[in-house]
Amino acid sequence: MKRRLSSAMKAIVVREFGGLEVMKVENDVAVPPIGNKQVLLKVEVSGVNPVDTYIRGGQYSRLPDLPYVPGVDGAGFVEKVGPSVTRFKPGDRVFCCNIGRWGTLAEFSSVDESFVFPLPPSLTFQQGAALGIPYFTALRALFQKAGAKHGERLLIHGASGAVGLAAVQIAKAHGLEVVGTAGTEAGLKLVKQAGADSVLNHRQRGYLDSLTAGDKFDVILEMLANVNLGVDLPLMKSHGRTVSEWEEMGTKVDEGIKAGWISPVIDKVYTLSQAREAHNDIIHSTGAKGNLVVQVRE
């Protein structure tokens, strides 16, 4: 007998833009409807990114209608598909980069098919929730914006964070020489483990002095939170020229997972009731060590 989908779900709901206090767990939220080309995702894990906090605070150039459910990144199972969805079927393991009102800090999320991607069994749902913004941002920054090429030299400031580690893994897989910086011993170790050719502590005075005058960089990526490269990704429209960019990034991530050079690092896992803490930590914690995620279903 076919299981009947519940009409209500547990979710974090934001009814006004503001501080952490506007994020509230509600237990009787209507499961979002899906359109013709949308997927209903049964969310297992939600990713946490700085852009989530900018949107919640109303400090972003494109804001969802209120009330809304936060959470851009997520991973889980396909629960239901719209009539014109061709790439997925119920039961598929997927991850998403959800650009919409019904985000992933909920038991269910409605996502345009263009922003849904297959999640191979080699990665956990926690790792899947850490793929979207970090890896797509790194790909976009390295190749679609900077035009990085095999054999070039790359400096990644703040390489121990989610986007930084993604950039290290991607760059090394594409033949770049990578120098990464971090601010803690744990962070430096992670950057080295991700494949960086050398690591520097950016909290040490004159940390770049160890580089000789001839060691110039072809590309420099800056990962500071206040100029985070991920903030422009959700602004990409889901039609026209950018559709091919999303497809290109999704294909590249799929290739990386299968080849083994994409491996998201999970720093800390929160429960849904701890989502406020996750939003605080993604901005204010010191010494980034990978991705923060929220386990939606416990």
Question: Please, what are the domains in the chain?
Answer: 8-130+264-295 (3.90.180.10), 133-229 (3.40.50.720)
pLDDT tens-place string over residues 36-62: 999 999 999 999 999 999 999 998 888
**Is residue 227 very low, low, confident or very high in pLDDT (cuts 50, 70, 90)?**
very low
- Quote the CA–CA distance of 39 and 278 in Å, as a whole number: 26
Residue 17 pLDDT > 90, yes or no?
yes
**Is residue 1 very low, low, confident or very high in pLDDT (cuts 50, 70, 90)?**
very low
Residue at 271: amino acid letter:
T
3-class DSSP state for residue 6?
A: coil
Exposed (0-12), middle (13-18) or buried (19+): which is 239, by Cβ within 10 Å?
A: exposed
Displacement of CA 278 from its chain's centroid (Å): 14
Q: What angle do CA 206, 211, 212 make, to 5 degrees?
A: 120
- Quote the CA–CA distance of 29 and 262 in Å, as a whole number: 35
Residues in CB range of 168: below 8 A, 6 or more apart? 156, 159, 178, 180, 191, 194, 195, 196
Displacement of CA 95 from its chain's centroid (Å): 10
**Is residue 277 very low, low, confident or very high in pLDDT (cuts 50, 70, 90)?**
very high
Q: What is the largest CA-CA distance in the chain?
A: 71
Q: What angle do CA 175, 227, 185 make, to 5 degrees?
A: 60
pLDDT at 231: 46
Strands 73-81 and 93-97, bridge-based pairing:
antiparallel
C-alpha pair distances (Å), 201 with each of 71, 158, 184, 209: 32, 9, 7, 11
**Is residue 226 very low, low, confident or very high in pLDDT (cuts 50, 70, 90)?**
very low
**Secondary structure (DSSP) of 194-250:** TT-SEEEETTSTTGGGGS-TT---SEEEE--GGG-GGGGGGGS-SSTHHHHHHHHHH
Better-scored residue on pLDDT, 256 or 7:
256
pLDDT tens-place string over residues 71-129: 999 999 999 999 999 999 999 999 999 878 899 999 999 999 999 999 999 999 999 99
Residue 232 pLDDT > 60, yes or no?
no
